[in-house]
Structure 1
Amino acid sequence: MARLTALSMAVVLHSVLGISYYYYFRGSPESAAPALGAWLFSACIVALLQAVRIFPSTVPADQRFRGRNINNRAIQPSWAALFLETGICCLVLDVTLTKLWHRIESLCQCATVGVLQALAVEEQTFLAYEYWTVGLTTGLIGACLLWLTLWATALPTKLHCRLLDWRRSFHRHCNSMLFGPGTPMPAQAQESAQSFVS
Structure 2
Amino acid sequence: MARLTALGIAVLLHSVMGVSYYFLLGKCSPAPMLGCWLFSACIVTVLQAIHIFPDWWYTNYSATLFELTTETLVCCLTLDLMLTKLWCRIEGLCHCAIVGILQPLITEDDTYAAWEYWLLGLTTSVIGACLLWFTLWATALPAKMWHGFVVWRQRITSLIDGKLSQLVFAQRESTRSYHCSRQSEVTLAG
State the TM-score bracket (shorter-chain normalisation): 0.5 to 0.7
CA displacement, residues 113-136 of structure 1 (integer Å, 9 cap, x when unaligned): 000012133100000000000000
* Match for residue 146 of structure 1 among 127, 132, 136: 132
Deviations along 1:12-54, one digit per CA (max 9) or x if unpaired, are 110245377544411xxx7211100000000000000001111
Kindly indicate whether residue 7 of structure 2 is the aligned counterpart of residue 7 of structure 1: yes
C-alpha distance in 1 between matches for 2:54 and 2:46: 16
Query: What is the TM-score when the length of structure 2 is the normalising length?
Result: 0.67
Counterparts of 1:86-101 in structure 2, within 5 Å, are: 86-101=72-87
CA contact 2:2–2:48 (8 Å) conserved in 1: no
**Superposed CA RMSD:** 2.7
Are the aligned partners of 1:14 and 1:20 in contact in 2 as well (CA < 8 Å)? Answer: no
**Which residue of 2 is the match for residue 42 of structure 1?**
40
Q: Structure 1 residue 118 and structure 2 residue 119: aligned? A: no
**8 Å Cα contact 1:10-1:86 kept in structure 2:** yes
Taking a change above 3 Å as real, the CA distance of residues 76 and 151 of structure 1, as seen in their structure-2 partners, is farther
Q: Give the TM-score of the pair, scaled to structure 1.
A: 0.64
The equivalent of 1:128 in structure 2 is 114
- Aligned to 2:136, the other structure's residue is in SS state helix
Structure 2 counterpart SS, 1:33: coil
The aligned residue for residue 161 of structure 2 is: none
The structure number with the bigger radius of gyration is 2
Contact 1:47 1:153 in 2 (8 A): yes
**5+ long unaligned stretches in structure 2:** 145-190
> Which residue identity is paired with 2:132?
L
Higher fraction of helix: 2
C-alpha offsets along residues 80-119 of structure 1, whole Å, 9 cap, x if unaligned? 1101110110000000000000010000000000000121
Report the 3-state secondary structure (helix = DSSP H, G, I; strand = E; otherwise coil) of the residue aligned with 1:55. coil
SS in 2 for 1:18: helix
Equivalenced residues, count:
142
* Identical columns (%): 61
Paired residue for 2:56? 58
2:7 is matched by which residue type in structure 1?
A: L
Structure 1's unaligned 5+ residue stretches are 70-74, 159-198
Corresponding residue of 1:172: none
Closer/same/farther in 2, CA of residues 77 and 43 from structure 1, 3 Å limit: farther
